[in-house]
């Protein structure tokens, strides 16, 4: 019968019974013939037959892939992907350069080097984003550091919100947004009391809010984020400025 000894993280179906597993999993079955070059899944790995293998009685695992020298392990399913240059089915990738997307933020490139197969390591690097915002509950004035991070203070340029960057992560400021109630304004990002030259502008004649990417700026642990009004005309309250931080696993 088909064997289903696989690691728990490799079980992708809804049941633990052998009959309910998807057929494309191709588990090792000791009661069938295998020819050299056949592949099977066994205990979370993929094995290829290096010789022809004759059937065994049900329950006789003397030719099991992790026991018999008639098999060789070709890929660890936990972190490896096999790419075959001459196959056209959905499980393999055609000859040439490929992109394998493991998650929304990890793309692995593999270039065929003339071999029949290539092993590709998959490393998933997690990312997340955090908005840092401040409010000014009055009309804006050009040249002022007038933004509050919680209780109405006009935060001095050298102060602001202090950022924590976890160990094992990098951080960059990658975008800004601005919402104003009336008029037009431009607000600049300030880091550790230094004006960065990166800013966001909006005009209520077009929209009360605008979001835009900026040139990425590395943010280190304990850096201070602040805002400075660069230009303003006809503004009222409230007004909200935001910088978007992207944290990436190293």
CA end-to-end span of the chain, whole Å? 45
- Ranking 2-16, 60-74, 132-146, 196-210 by mean pLDDT, the lowest is 2-16
Contacts of 83 (CB under 8 A, 6+ apart): 92, 93, 98, 100, 110, 112, 117, 118, 119, 120
Same domain, 33 and 94: no
Is the same domain home to 133 and 154? Answer: yes
- My answer on whether 174 and 190 are in the same domain is yes
- What is the pLDDT, as a whole number, of residue 25? 57
Token duo for residue 237: 């309250």
The per-residue pLDDT for 115 is 43
pLDDT at 109: 41
Burial 190-226 (b: 16+ CB within 10 A, else e): bbbeeebebbbbbebeeeeebeeebeebebeeebbbb
87-119 residue pLDDT tens: 333 333 333 334 444 433 333 444 444 444 444
Residues 102 and 216 in one domain: no
Domain boundary among 53, 78, 103: 78
Looking at 177-240, list the stretches that DSSP marks H as alpha helix, in order from N- to C-terminal side. none
Per-residue confidence at 47, pLDDT binned at 50, 70, 90? confident
Is 84 found in the same domain as 69?
no
The per-residue pLDDT for 101 is 43
Q: What is the pLDDT of residue 142?
A: 96
Residues 91 and 114 both lie in one domain = yes
Residue 125 is predicted with a pLDDT of 73
| The pLDDT of residue 194 is above 80 | yes
Kindly report the length of the chain. Answer: 250
Same domain, 28 and 84: no
pLDDT of residue 197: 96
- Domain match, 141 and 240 both: yes
Q: Based on the fold, state whether residues 135 and 233 are members of the same structural domain.
A: yes
211: CATH: 2.60.120
CB-CB contact of 61 with 104 (8 Å): no
Q: Is 240 helix (H, G, I), strand (E, B) or coil?
A: strand
Number of domains in the chain: 3
For residues 56, 61, 67, 68, the Cα torsion angle rounded to the nearest 10 degrees is 0
SS3 content of the chain, % helix, strand, coil (to 5): 5, 45, 50
Residues 140 and 230 in one domain: yes
The predicted structure's pLDDT at residue 139: 95
Residues 85 and 71 in one domain: no
Question: Which residues are within 8 A (CB) of 37 and not within 5 positions of it... i.e. 6 or more apart?
Answer: 48, 49
The mean pLDDT value of the chain amounts to 78
> Residue 121's beta-bridge partner residues?
80
Percentage of the chain lying above the pLDDT 70 cut: 70
Q: Are 222 and 248 in contact (CB under 8 A)?
A: no
pLDDT of residue 215: 97
Contact 24, 91 (CB under 8 A): yes
Specify the pLDDT at position 16: 40
Q: What is the pLDDT of residues 135-192, one digit of tens each?
A: 999 999 999 999 999 888 999 999 999 999 999 999 999 999 999 999 999 999 999 9
CATH number of domain containing 26: 2.10.10
CA distances for 181 relative to 200, 202, 205, angstroms: 15, 10, 11
| The predicted structure's pLDDT at residue 182 | 96
pLDDT of residue 138: 95
Q: What is the mean pLDDT of residues 220-235?
A: 97
Print the domain residue range for 102: 79-124
Q: Report pLDDT for 37.
A: 86
Among 14, 48, 78, the domain boundary falls at 78
Residue 219 has pLDDT above 90, yes or no: yes
Same domain, 72 and 96: no
What confidence score (pLDDT) does residue 143 get?
95
Between residues 15 and 73, the one the model is more confident about: 73
């Amino acid at each position: 019968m088909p064997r289903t000894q696989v690691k728990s993280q490799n079980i992708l179906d809804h049941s633990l019974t052998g009959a309910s597993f998807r057929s494309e999993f191709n588990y090792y079955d000791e009661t069938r013939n295998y020819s050299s070059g056949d592949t099977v899944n066994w205990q979370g790995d993929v094995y290829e037959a290096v010789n022809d293998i004759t059937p065994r009685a049900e329950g006789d695992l003397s030719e099991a892939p992790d026991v018999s020298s008639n098999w060789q392990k070709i890929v660890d399913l936990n972190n490896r992907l096999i790419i075959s240059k001459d196959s056209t089915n959905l499980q393999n990738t055609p000859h040439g350069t490929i992109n394998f997307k493991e998650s929304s933020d990890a793309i692995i490139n593999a270039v065929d080097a003339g071999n029949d197969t290539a092993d590709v390591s998959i490393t998933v690097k997690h990312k997340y984003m955090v908005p840092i915002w401040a409010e000014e509950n009055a009309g804006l004035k050009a040249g002022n550091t007038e933004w509050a991070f919680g209780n109405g203070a006009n935060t001095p340029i050298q102060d602001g919100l202090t950022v924590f960057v976890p160990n094992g992560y990098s951080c960059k400021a990658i975008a800004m947004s601005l919402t104003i109630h009336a008029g037009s304004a431009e607000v600049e990002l300030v880091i550790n009391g230094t004006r960065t030259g990166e800013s966001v502008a909006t005009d209520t004649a077009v929209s009360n809010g605008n979001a835009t990417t900026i040139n990425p700026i590395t943010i280190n642990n304990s850096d201070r984020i602040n805002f400075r009004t660069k230009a303003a005309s006809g503004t009222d309250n409230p007004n909200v400025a935001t910088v978007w931080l992207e944290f990436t696993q190293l």
